Amino acid sequence: MPRPNFLAVTEFTFEGFSILEWHHRRIPFVVFLVLYLLTLASNAIILTVICLNHQFHTPMYFFLSVLSISETCYTVAIIPQMLSSLLSPQQTISIPGCATQFFFYLTFDVNNCFLLMVMGYDHYVVICKPLPAHPLWYLVIMGKKACIQLASGSWSIGLSIAIIQVSSVFSLPFCDANLISHFFCDIRSIMKFACADTTIKEFITLLISLHALVLSMVLILVSYVLIVTTILKIVSAEGRRKAFATCASHLTVVIVHYDCTSFIYLKPKSQNSLQDRLISVTYTVFTPLLNPVVKSLRNKEVKDALLRTLGRKPLS
């Protein structure tokens, strides 16, 4: 039950990076702005190259383009607010605005987790399923309909979890304090202002985190156990090298993504809000840029296609 005689809160205030002096905030602002623009540009390049080159109209690049769209939406939901926090000491946001920001943030974050899981399954099918008698086995399993269903399933899970979480948390009454020690609407910071018992809400949050993170992480792990087992059976050293190279970029992105996400959502409560913010900066600024760079722009086929698109390299 809400506490009696409480002062209802109608908006929140972001503490952001106000603990830093202004002259210490200018450099991070420029750095984060440049990284944000690079993230938007690199994802736009990937989408353009994939759309304009028929050779990339395959399941792997389809999922990569969906991930690029999701990463772009994710950064748009968070980074502009963070950049704004670097320019002004404190900023306010209404409770509905906070709920909206958190809804989109969580939707795309969970969607990214399950898209990475789907891409792990795609690598599993590529490496473990091809048979000499069925050279097109991969395209039979990962047909257009299957790809759309897998991508739609990831989006649906993200939307469902976001709806449940937002409905659960923002149905609480908020009172007494409204200073969020973060640069966006972080769920743990928000629940501190609730005037009612949050035990059940925190349990729901934990279940959601376990479902979104642990389930997808376990399925990725199972995929890679089967992949590694298959690769080790390959007689040719060159064949093993190519198979490992196929998975290396995806595995790099998965490790970084789940390390940061697990720290944010599964760690015990902490009083070190600055540490939480620094980890969140890594997760919201650097990880979205890592994905397109590692998975696409270091790919020779993508770089060659980009040069052809720009007219700087003749068609082979």
- The pLDDT tens digits for 105-154 are 889 988 988 998 998 888 888 887 655 445 567 777 888 888 999 999 99
> What's the mean pLDDT in 171-192?
79
pLDDT at 244: 77
What's the CA dihedral at 18, 21, 25, 26 to 10 degrees?
140
pLDDT at 297: 56
Banded pLDDT at 103 (limits 50, 70, 90):
very high
pLDDT at 29: 85
Q: Is the CATH number of domain 11-309 1.20.1070.10? A: yes
pLDDT at 156: 93
pLDDT at 133: 45
pLDDT in tens, 10-67: 788 877 676 667 777 788 888 889 989 988 988 888 888 888 877 778 888 888 889 8
Nearest to 109 by CA among 243, 276, 291: 291
Question: Domain map of the chain by residue range?
Answer: 11-309
Nearest to 245 by CA among 290, 298, 291: 298
pLDDT in tens, 182-241: 778 878 778 888 888 888 888 888 888 777 788 888 888 888 888 888 888 877 777 777
- Considering the entire predicted model, what is its pTM? 0.83
Share above pLDDT 70 across residues of the chain, in percent, rounded to a whole number = 78
**φ, ψ (nearest 5 deg) of residue 94:** -70, 160
Give the list of residues 6+ apart from residue 24 with CB closer than 8 angstroms, or none: none
33-37 contacts: CB < 8 A, separation 24 or more? 33/83, 35/285, 35/286, 35/289, 36/75, 36/79, 36/83, 36/285
pLDDT in tens, 278-291: 677 777 787 788 77
Banded pLDDT at 293 (limits 50, 70, 90):
confident
